[in-house]
Structure 1
Amino acid sequence: MKTSTPDSLTAKLKSRIVLLALFVGSMWAVFFLSVAMPFLNLNEHGVVPRSLGGLQGILFAPWLHASLGHIAANTSGLLVLGWLCMWPDIAGFWRATIGAMLGAGLCAWLFGAPYSVHIGASGLVFGYGGYLVARGYYTRNLVSIVVALVVVSSYGLSMLFGVLPIYPGVSWQSHIGGVLGGVLAARAGAGAASRVRMR
């Protein structure tokens, strides 16, 4: 059984802080670029439902935001929930990120209104929430269960209303897809961990 030394814990903290700062910071960098150079029309590269070219938004949409308020609102969720996804290992963060991006993007592309453009990282935020709650269910690990309960108590109500089509201009399709992608990522992660234990 491995025990973490203070040095190894410090190294883990630093690597996670740097990764999360670069990840979220890159979104802010793109936002400031779009403000400074509006002629680039970066937000047009979001998800455009049932358009072949609109599929590019599955990759680009999380880095595109309509306003300062939009990216600021997503940043807190990205930082808090993204941080929780990084433990016990960084692979969980990438698993949740990929699952949320694919789920949010595909659902927006399949079910979004014609000629609409879906942008923003809220699908990732919802995906991280779905991943953390589902991870507690699938792993039955005490720490993961506690984290899941904290997420439900802190974000549950806003996530519930966020997946309902009640707010004009809000991509509830991305939110639902993000949650589904996060849940599937947690299921895949739990399956991979069980296979490792069985070897």
Structure 2
Amino acid sequence: MAYGPYGVAVPAPASRGERVKNAALLVGGWVALLWVLEAIDVATGHALDTFGITPREFGELRDVPAAFVHFGWDHLAANSVPLLLLGFLAALSGIRRFLAVVTVTILVSGLGVWLTASEHSITAGASGVVFGLFGYLLVRGFVDRRIGDVVIGLVVGAVYGSILWGVLPTTAGVSWQGHLFGLIGGVASAFVFRRPREARA
């Protein structure tokens, strides 16, 4: 326990090992949950697919958090590896900040799909979160003015930069809207949840 101004007790900062452990457990548990949900979906004859987003129907606003539903194992597998890697890197800077970033990204991506997706389409999956985490990590270091995070962002850009083609309507059956608005949500989160000036110092 550490003491802040006026002798008020505040929790001591987590060690690097604790941050790594907490980030790994959280992101690993999240991806494991997605696989459990897909198993339930398959076992129930794809009953969970109804929680995908159908655009511009007000009753479908409840399904905006459709990032937890996938259309098959291949769909989920394609999202799992980048979710694990990008999610782990993002969660290292703090669990509460990570959860806030993911929440904003899911909502912005889902609402963007609801507003702009094609008629009679149904959209689900965590790819919007993947794009959000990518955008967040890409700009976080510049927003917070932290050299280490800038380096992480540059590495992430070099490894995953090609996914930016996914924000363009070039592939049938792929929700470029979810990707685009997820990216916007992630970049916006880097500014909304920037570190306080004293923490950056």
Answer yes or no: same fold by TM over 0.5.
Answer: yes
1:157 has 2:162 as partner: yes
What is the TM-score when the length of structure 2 is the normalising length? 0.87
Distance 2:62 2:83 in 1: 22
Provide Cα deviations, 1:127-157, integer angstroms capped at 9, x if missing partner.
Answer: 0001111212211210111011011101111
Distance 2:53 2:108 in 1: 12
- 1:193: which partner in 2? 196
Displacement of 1:197 after TM fit?
A: 5.2
> How do 1:1-199 and structure 2 match up within 5 A?
8-38=15-45, 41-59=47-65, 61-158=66-163, 160-190=164-194, 193-194=196-197
Q: Aligned partner of 2:50: which letter?
A: E
Displacement of 1:105 after TM fit?
A: 0.2
Displacement of 1:44 after TM fit?
A: 1.3
SS at match of 1:35: helix
Distance 1:156 1:86 in 2: 20
Task: Calculate percent identity across the aligned residue pairs.
Answer: 36
Distance 1:146 1:165 in 2: 30
Displacement of 1:168 after TM fit?
A: 0.5
Whether the aligned pair in 2 keeps the contact of 1:47 and 1:118 (CA below 8 Å) is yes
More helix by share: 1
Provide Cα deviations, 1:101-138, integer angstroms capped at 9, x if missing partner.
Answer: 01110110010011211100000000000111121221
Provide Cα deviations, 1:23-70, integer angstroms capped at 9, x if missing partner.
Answer: 1111111100011111x62111111111112112212x1111111110
Distance 2:20 2:135 in 1: 23
Unmatched runs of 5 consecutive residues or more in structure 2: 3-13
What is the TM-score when the length of structure 1 is the normalising length? 0.88
CA RMSD of aligned residues (A): 1.9
Distance 2:87 2:173 in 1: 25
Whether the aligned pair in 2 keeps the contact of 1:99 and 1:127 (CA below 8 Å) is no
